[in-house]
Amino acid sequence: MTNMTMIEAIRSAHDNAMEHDERVVVYGEDVGFFGGVFRCTAGLQEKYGKTRCFDAPISELGIVGTAIGMAAYGLRPLVEIQFADYVYPAYDQIVSEAARLRHRSAGDFTCPLVIRMPVGGGIFGGQTHSQSPEAIFTHVSGLKTVMPSNPYDAKGLLIAAIEDPDPVIFLEPKRLYNGPFDGHHEAPVVPWRQHPAGEVPDDYYSLPLGKAELRREGSDVTVLAYGTMVYVAHAAAKETGIDAEIIDLRSLLPLDIDTITASVQKTGRCVIVHEATLTCGFGAELAALVQQECFYHLEVPIQRITGWDTPYPHAQEWDYFPGPARLGRALHKAMEV
C-alpha cells in the first residue's frame, strides 16, 4: 500500500496495466514525453517506450478514430482527452463507431477502448475546462460510463475499464485529483494522504463496473452522488446534522439500481446531486428510476441539486458549483414533511 493522490493512482493503473498486458497502448495530447498536463501518464514513455506511450496531434477525433482502429486490430488503446470539454469533435466516433461496432458487425469486430478525460469545475477553468458531460455518454447504447471519487476506486475502476471488452468512458473529477474536495473552496486543500481512500495497493487489482458504494450509512434521506459531489454530500450531512445515507454511484452505466432502491426504500427520501447542468442531466434518469422503483416508499418529492442550466462561468464559479450550502437546504427541505 502506498499513499497516492488520484493522479498517482491513475498513473499506477496505467503502469500496472501496461506491464500486465502488452496490448495496452497509451496516447493523447501531451501524454508522451511530458506525461500529460495533469501528469497522469508521467514516466510511462520512458518505461515502456515511445510506441506504447506517445503524444498525439491536437485532434480528439483523430485520437479516438485511430484508437477504434487499434482496438479492432486487437490492441487495448487507453487514450486521454485533455479535458472533457474537448471531446465533442470525437463524439461521432464514440457514438456511431466505438459504441456500435460490436452490435453492427454481430461480434465480427469489437472495440475494447478506454477514453479518459478530466471533468468538473472548481479550478477556475471557465466554460471550456469545467464541464461534466456524463449524460451525453450514458445516453448512448453500447458505452459504459464511469466516474470514480477517490484514488483507490480510480485505480481499480480504471483497470477494470481497460480489461473490459467494450468501450468505456472514464471521467476523472479533476478537482479531486489532489484531495477530497467538499465544496468549501475557501478552506485549505485537504490532501489524499489524510484520507483512508488515499491508501492504494501498488499491485494490479480491479473493481467491478456497475457496483455503487455506500459511503455513509444514514436513516433520514438518501443522497445519490458521484465524483466530487460525494464529498459535498458528506459536508452537507455534517453541517445540517441530517442523517443522510450517501451512495457513490461510481459507475453510471451500468447502474447499480439495487443499491439505490434498497436505500431509498429504507429512507423514503431522495436527493440527487451532480455538477452537470440540470435539464436532461443524469439526475433526470436517476429520478425517473427512483420514482418507478420506490414510488410507494417516497415521503417527499425527489430533488435534484445540480449545476445551473448555464455555461460554466469563470468569475461566478462558486455560484454555479452545487456546494454544501445548497445541498444542505435541499436536505432540510426533504425533512420538512
Q: What are the residue numbers of the active site?
A: 129
Q: Are 113 and 71 in contact (CB under 8 A)?
A: yes
Name the residue nearer to another protein (CB basis): 52 or 269. Answer: 52
66 binds another protein (CB under 8 A): yes
Q: Is 250 in the site for another protein (CB under 8 A)?
A: no
Tell me whether residue 68 or residue 271 sits nearer to another protein (CB atom). Answer: 68
Q: Which stretch binds another protein (CB under 8 A): 114-122, 139-147, 173-181, 187-195?
A: 139-147
Contact with another protein (CB under 8 A) among 97, 172, 220, 245: 97
> Which residues have C-beta within 8 Å of that of residue 102, sequence separation ≥ 6?
109, 110, 111, 142, 166
73 is a site residue for another protein (CB under 8 A): yes
User: Cα–Cα distance between 90 and 60 in angstroms, integer?
Assistant: 5
Grid coordinates belonging to 230: 460525494
CB 117 within 8 A of CB 129: no
Q: Is 33 in the site for another protein (CB under 8 A)?
A: no
72 sits near another protein (criterion: CB under 8 A):
yes
Determine phi and psi for 173, rounding to 5 degrees.
Answer: -70, 105
Residue placing its CB nearer to another protein in the complex, 212 or 244: 212
Counting contacts by CB under 8 A, is residue 295 touching another protein?
A: no
Could you say whether residue 89 binds another protein (CB under 8 A)?
yes
For residue 27, the minimal CB distance to another protein (Å) is: 9
Q: Is 201 in the site for another protein (CB under 8 A)?
A: no
Q: Is residue 6 involved in binding another protein (CB under 8 A)?
A: no
Rounded CA-CA distance 317/126 in Å is 8
* Contact between 302 and another protein per CB under 8 A: no
The H or E element that residue 257 is part of is: helix 257-267
Q: Is 107 left (phi over 0), alpha (psi -120 to 50) or beta?
A: left
Beta-carbon contacts of 230 under 8 Å, excluding residues fewer than 6 positions away, are: 149, 215, 246, 248
Find the part of the chain contacting another protein (CB under 8 A) among 92-100, 182-190, 211-219, 271-279: 92-100
291 in contact with another protein (CB under 8 A): no
For residue 284, state whether it binds another protein (rule: CB under 8 A).
Answer: no
What is the closest distance, in whole angstroms, from the C-beta atom of residue 7 to another protein in the complex? 26
List phi, psi (to 5°) of 58. -75, 80
Please tell me whether residue 14 binds another protein under the rule CB under 8 A. no
Q: Least distance in Å: CB of 74 to another protein?
A: 7
DSSP string, 72-126: HHT-EEEEE-SSGGG-GGGHHIIIIIITTHHHHTTTSS----EEEEEE--SSS-G
Contact with another protein (CB under 8 A): which of 46, 109, 202, 299? 109
Residue 263 Cβ vs another protein, minimum distance, rounded to whole Å: 17
Give, in degrees to the nearest 5, the angle at Cα 127 between 125 and 131.
Answer: 85
User: Taking the chain, what is the end-to-end CA distance rounded to the nearest angstrom?
Assistant: 46
* Contact positions vs another protein (CB under 8 A): 25, 51-52, 56-57, 59, 61-62, 65-70, 72-75, 77, 89, 92-93, 96-97, 100-110, 141-142, 144, 165-166, 210, 253-255, 257
